[in-house]
Copies of this chain bind each other. A is one copy, B any other.
Amino acid sequence: MRFDETYSGKVFIKSHPNYEESKAVLYGMPMDWTVSYRPGSRFGPNKIREVSIGLEEYSPYLDRELGDVKFFDAGDIPLPFGNPEKSLAEIETYVHTLLADEKIPMGMGGEHLVSLPVMKAVASKYDDLAIIHFDAHTDLRENYEGEEYSHSTPIRKIADHIGPKNVYSFGIRSGMKEEFEWAKENGMHISKFEVLEPLKKVLPTLEGRNVYVTIDMDVLDPAHAPGTGTVDAGGITSRELLASIHAIAASGVNVVGFDLVELAPVYDHSDQTANTASKLMREMILGWVK
């Protein structure tokens, strides 16, 4: 695998031209073939890059500039259309290489299932890993209509892998009764409906821990993120999500990787959701890559 080859597509603003010198690596995982409802998130990563040109590189929230962080935009991982197993395997291999090179993985989805191989790779490096998960949906099914690897199962799979007690979900407002019950019985943290307040209570308990953060855009209310696969009313505002990112940045946790998934540009209007995703990515880079 080579990361330094000439990339002919667009890149996130202010990404560093050199892989070796970079501390973090941004990459797209353009897969959407297991979703049951509205596909289209395969185009999410490139759209985030495209609209990043409209961002200021300075964050008045964090008083820091993108130029202060060396990150490399490696483009999208080439994935075989319609083959989830092979796709997941390739993502996992890819992230292992990043971790071997001491890079912080920063992923862009794609459907939420792409987070699973990333989290597994990261968990193999950090054995105290905790997962912070922002989402409207539990994603805790064991399988979806018989298929084990589905957009509905990634959090369950990783919880099975690293232990449910190490997984913290926030903003959940949709799921099957059985999923909520499983979480409760197995000691997994689920904050229903709310994000910022419970997060502020959880963060001190994670102080010093290595943490992977996975954000599904649909944790936002449809008013704030219409451009996603499955919208669900009653979500949080982009202000609250920004404040949550800043709360993690100000806490004592050590973010060792993160992703932002489920931006589906075809359902977006005038790039509203894409612009928000792009700003969220800037804040995560500036707040979490230290």
Interface of A toward B, CB cutoff 8 Å: 6, 8-11, 17, 32-40, 42, 50, 54, 56, 58, 60-61, 63, 65, 78, 80-84, 144-147, 149-150, 172-177, 180, 192-193, 221-224, 226-227, 230-235, 237-239, 242, 266-272, 275-276, 279-280
Contact between A237 and B266 (Cβ–Cβ < 8 Å)? no
Q: Are B233 and A60 in contact (CB under 8 A)?
A: no
Q: Are A81 and B147 in contact (CB under 8 A)?
A: yes
Task: Given A39-B32, A58-B176, verify A82-B81 contact (CB < 8 Å).
Answer: no
How many whole Å from A159's CB to the nearest CB in chain B? 18
Q: Which residue of B lies closest to A267 (CB)?
A: B270
A175-B233 contact, Cβ under 8 Å, with A10-B9, A33-B33, A40-B39: no
Across the interface, name the chain B residue whose C-beta is closest to A275. Answer: B231
> Which residues of B lie under 8 Å from residue A266 when comparing CB positions?
38, 40, 266-267
Given known pairs A37-B54, A266-B267, the reply for A81 and B145 (CB within 8 Å) is yes
The answer to whether B82 and A175 have CB atoms under 8 Å apart is no
Residues of B within 8 A of A230 (CB): 54
Instruction: Identify the closest chain B residue to A80 (Cβ).
Output: B147
How far, in Å, is A118 (CB) from chain B's closest CB? 18
Q: A40-B40, A226-B270, A267-B266 are in contact. Are A175 and B221 (CB under 8 A)?
A: no
Partner of A177, one of B58, B147, B192, B270: B58
Tell me whether B242 and A234 are in contact (CB under 8 A).
yes
**18 intermolecular pairs with C-beta atoms under 8 Å apart:** A35-B82, A40-B266, A54-B230, A56-B175, A58-B176, A60-B174, A60-B180, A61-B173, A65-B177, A81-B150, A221-B239, A223-B223, A223-B272, A231-B272, A231-B275, A231-B276, A233-B276, A266-B267
Q: How far is the CA of A63 from the CA of B269 in the complex (A)?
A: 34
Q: Which residues of B contact A6 (CB under 8 A)?
A: 17
